[in-house]
Amino acid sequence: MQLAKTDVLLLDDWGLALLTDSARRDLLEIFDDRHGHHSTIVTSQLPVTNWHESIGDSTLVDAILDRLVHNAHQLMLTR
């Protein structure tokens, strides 16, 4: 999969829409393939604590967040 091999993947405006089951599974596969190998940047106005609701399936959310947030650098910007 091409997204898994890209050096830097940027996901902008994360969490604007709920994910379908197919999208959740695809996202998990992408993050699983990238984990520990390539950088992923996510921008969102939605706090990480609300991502469970945005992604949907609690089991897949835990797996996705484990791969995405583990060893991540989080920057909280304010106005």
Which domains does the chain show, CATH number per domain? 2-69 (3.40.50.300)
pTM of the model: 0.80
36 DSSP assignment: T
9-65 confidence digits (pLDDT tens): 999 998 888 889 999 999 999 999 988 899 999 999 888 888 888 888 888 889 988
Alpha-carbon span 56 to 27, nearest angstrom: 12
34: Cα within 13 Å, side-chain hemisphere: 26
